[in-house]
Amino acid sequence: MSLRFRFLLPLILKNMQSPLAAKSLHDLFIDLRKCVDWKNKELLGLFIAHLTLRYEHPQCQLDEAWTEEDIGLLRYSFIIKNELLTLFRHV
């Protein structure tokens, strides 16, 4: 299934602009991270999924626990940079 992500993910993200489909597609998008082998970095996968949703602005309520920090501040976080570098080394 993960081989088809490049076709599936753009469709899911695009259709999250529909108020009728947004909540179901939001849940699907979050669950799809389980199809990727994160090499003991499951929290990183969850973080990337929620951060992607924040950037896409779906037509549904996002989990408040993942929306507390300003996105602009996140890109300068040392921890996030290190985690992303670790991710790219394993992909």
Expressed as residue numbers, the domain containing 79 is 2-90
* 29 CB-contact burial (10 Å; exposed 0-12 / middle 13-18 / buried 19+): buried
pLDDT in tens, 37-48: 777 778 888 888
Q: Extract the tokens encoding 18.
A: 């529909």
Q: Which of 56, 60, 50 minimizes the C-alpha distance to 22?
A: 60
Number of alpha helices (DSSP H) and beta strands (DSSP E) in the chain:
5, 0
Domains held by the chain: number: 1
| Residue segments in the chain with a per-residue pLDDT below the cut of 70 | 1-2, 71-91
pLDDT at 56: 87
Name residues whose C-beta falls within 8 Å of residue 80's C-beta, 6 or more positions apart in sequence. 47, 74
Place of tokens 């299934």: 1
- For residue 71, the model assigns a pLDDT of 67
Spatial separation of the C-alpha atoms in residues 69 and 52, rounded to whole Å: 14
Contact by Cβ (8 Å): 18, 57: no
- Read off the pLDDT of residues 66-77 as tens digits, 9 standing for 90 and up: 777 776 666 556
